[in-house]
Structure 1
Amino acid sequence: MRIFYALTGPPGCGKTTAILRIVNELKKRGVRVEGMYTQELREGGRRIGFIIKRITGGEGTLAHVRFREGPRLGRYVVNLRDLEAIGVSALMDGLKEAEVIVVDEVGPMELFSQRFREAVEQLISSDKNAIITVHYRSRDPLVIKVKKTAGKNLIILNRENRDQIPAIIVKNVVEAIRGR
């Protein structure tokens, strides 16, 4: 049975922290996990960009205030090359090899890439287990499709539930993979 979770919530609610806890626990249990996540890049206490990291290793710069070429989102310029080299390749490899694919996040920066969109569409259409974070207020058709695919497994993270949700997801994913 396939497990498909979508996590959302306002900025700072703990989506990436939850994803990293889930990934670490799944790996401890011997689950093959692949995918990507993003983290803030800070300089002198000020956010200057975002890093994209592949779960199995490798990282690049997703967006930066000093970049000049690429799509602009607010004060950041998105680096499609690193997004596709790190993020898209992680998703495509995960579709072939992983038991669980993690995507953090399907948000405005990532959605500038047509290749990223296509990889997420393939993941949705596949039978792979997936845990995806989506931008809280996005009305993009792909974000809506991710939420719809998750159905009852669409979880809005907040300060009250963010510490309990990772353990629940890990339990359900491991049971689905192990056939219990």
Structure 2
Amino acid sequence: MGIKVGITGPIGSIKTDALNKIMEMLQNNGKVIEGTLVSEKIEHGRVVAYYITDILTKRRVEFARIDLISRVKVDKLGVDTKLLEGLLVPSLQKSREEADVIVLDELGKVENTTKQIKAEIEETMKSDKSIIVTLHKKSRNPVLQEFRGYESVRVFDITPINKNILPFKILKVLNGEEESI
């Protein structure tokens, strides 16, 4: 059974920096990393769009924009659910087949946008693959609570103090070298 690692922390680049370091170390150890990364476009100090990128293919789409009219919203941005599904669903399906480690960045932003995306994420979480997810830290976040309910889960809270050492600790957990931290 794969180990599932959650990284929670404040808004900002600290989770992304740690995730990139972990991915780099895993790839240097010969692991196949697949899944998706979420990034934002900021103009005049505010988020105006979100992008999702397939790690394997490097395909990137803008799935949410401030000026997009949609009944589905992420942080007050309209979501193009067809674009999001078109990248996320095949990426997760392929990851479950081929990856050693699956990455789901910003889980709290995308999981409830459509029934198909929710089903694919649930299927991925139940797989026997090792998985790394990042989530915004909110004490009552139902996504975080649901994630903690899966088997073999370890959740790490990243801070400015532990941000440099945490990727090494997470790598040890993923490699089965350290049971608890």
TM superposition score normalised by structure 1:
0.85
Runs of at least 5 residues in structure 2 that lack an aligned partner in the other structure: none
Deviation at 1:169, TM superposition (A): 1.6
Cα 1:118–1:70 shift into 2, 3 Å: same
The residue correspondences of 1:1-180 to structure 2 (distance < 5 A) are: 2-12=2-12, 14-43=14-43, 46-56=46-56, 57-137=58-138, 139=140, 141-149=142-150, 153-175=154-176
Deviation of 1:124 (Å): 2.0
Deviation at 1:104, TM superposition (A): 0.4
Residue 110 of structure 1 and its aligned partner are, at CA, apart by 3.9
* Structure with greater helix share of residues: 1
The ranges of structure 1 where at least 4 consecutive aligned residues each deviate by more than 3 angstroms after the TM superposition are: 43-46, 138-143
* CA positional deviation for 1:140: 5.7
Secondary structure in 1 matching 2:149: helix
Question: Which deviates the most, 37-46 or 47-56?
Answer: 37-46
Alignment partners' CA distance in 2, 1:63 and 1:80: 9
Identical aligned residues as a percent: 28
Q: Matched residue pairs, number?
A: 176
| CA deviation after TM superposition for structure 1 residue 67, in Å | 1.3
Q: Which runs of 5+ in 1 are unaligned?
A: none
TM-score scaled by structure 2? 0.84
Distance 1:5 1:66 in 2: 34
CA contact (8 A) 1:13 1:159 kept: no
